[in-house]
Amino acid sequence: MPARVVGEIQSFADLSILPGESAPERVLENCNGFDALICTLMNKVTADFIDRLPPSIRLVATYSVGIDHIDLRALQARRIALVNTPDVLTEATADIAWLLLLGAARRASEAEALLRSGMWTGWEPNQLVGTDIHGSTLGILGFGRIGRAVARRAAGFGMNILTSVRSSSAGDPPPPGTIICSSMEEVLAGSDFLSLHLPLTEETQNWLNAERIASMKSGAIVINTARGGLIDETALIAALQSGKLGGAGLDVFVGEPDIRRDLVEAPNTFLLPHLGSATRRAREGMGLSLARDIAAFFAGRPVENGVGVSK
């Protein structure tokens, strides 16, 4: 954790830090008598793991906004509370969605590889020609905090914005000119770029499947900063290989960090290793937000970011 976060938590609690990749067994052996557990999205907090937590644990604090790595029902059954870190990472993650959009549209990976290889022969009219961003249509699925922040940036790039009302949380109104479609399918069919901002749940698992990809515009570009599991990667790879999709910009993958070789080798991709919230301010903000909520919880005050608890 960032040093400032460690210092903050140590100002009110005894803190024991295990390496992030610690096996569940090692965590269970080491949390006897502890009141709270901080995890990251790399730690699978399964029902079995939760059942075996010592009774002293009353709070799980996840260093993430996503909670798909946590069995919420099992936590609730044990009456263990959960806090996460929304808001502080919204803008940083929206920026990464734009990096992916720009990078995939303008073939940044391929171009940089050419330059670094020493094989660049100089400016040519047909060299590494990409997709226009201005004047094209960006579909945003999941119009919560991050989806809206992506939409705000789209106005500056001269794009049209489509979204559907599904999963829109309270927040800023959509930017002027946003077209609200009546279904996610309608967004799919109308988008030149599609950016995913849905939570991963049983309902959204493999949401972007072969059938839905088939309904997209030919040459469309898919952007994902949410969770890899939203996309059926086999269908995505086939669509990139056939040219049905014009490209993909991905920050998240199924089975991270073991990424499918055929995805890495698929054409027209711009791939990043789950960096959405990786700025100094966001990562520190996430930790400080957890620290505040842990302190509040044990002082008997309301937490800011309780999951499954209304504010």
Residue positions annotated with a catalytic role: 227, 256, 274
For residues 157-216, which are near ligand GLV according to CB under 6 A?
A: none
Give the residue with the Cβ less far from ligand GLV, 228 or 247: 228
Give the residue with the Cβ less far from ligand GLV, 41 or 230: 41
Give the residue with the Cβ less far from ligand GLV, 178 or 225: 225
For residues 67-106, which are near ligand GLV according to CB under 6 A?
A: 89
**Residues near ligand GLV (CB under 6 A), total:** 7
Residue number of the CB atom closest to ligand GLV = 66
Give the residue with the Cβ less far from ligand GLV, 89 or 94: 89
Radius of gyration of the chain (CA): 21
Q: Considering the complex, what minimum distance in angstroms separates the CB of residue 93 from ligand GLV?
A: 7
Give the residue with the Cβ less far from ligand GLV, 7 or 273: 273
Q: Considering the complex, what minimum distance in angstroms separates the CB of residue 106 from ligand GLV?
A: 14
Spell out the residues 6+ positions from residue 8 whose beta carbon is closer than 8 angstroms to its own.
Answer: 287, 288, 291
Q: Considering the complex, what minimum distance in angstroms separates the CB of residue 76 from ligand GLV?
A: 20
Q: Taking CB under 6 A as the rule, does residue 64 contact ligand GLV?
A: yes
Which of 26-34, 62-70, 102-110, 241-249 is the region at the interface with ligand GLV (rule: CB under 6 A)? 62-70
Cα 23 to Cα 18, 43, 49, 53, 66, distances in angstroms: 10, 8, 11, 14, 21
Q: Taking CB under 6 A as the rule, does residue 66 contact ligand GLV?
A: yes
Cα 215 to Cα 105, 220, 235, 259, 263, distances in angstroms: 20, 11, 13, 26, 21
Backbone angles phi, psi at 196, to 5 degrees: -95, 130
Site for ligand GLV (CB under 6 A): which residue of 5, 36, 39, 41? 41
Q: Which residues bind ligand GLV (CB under 6 A)?
A: 41, 64-66, 89, 276-277
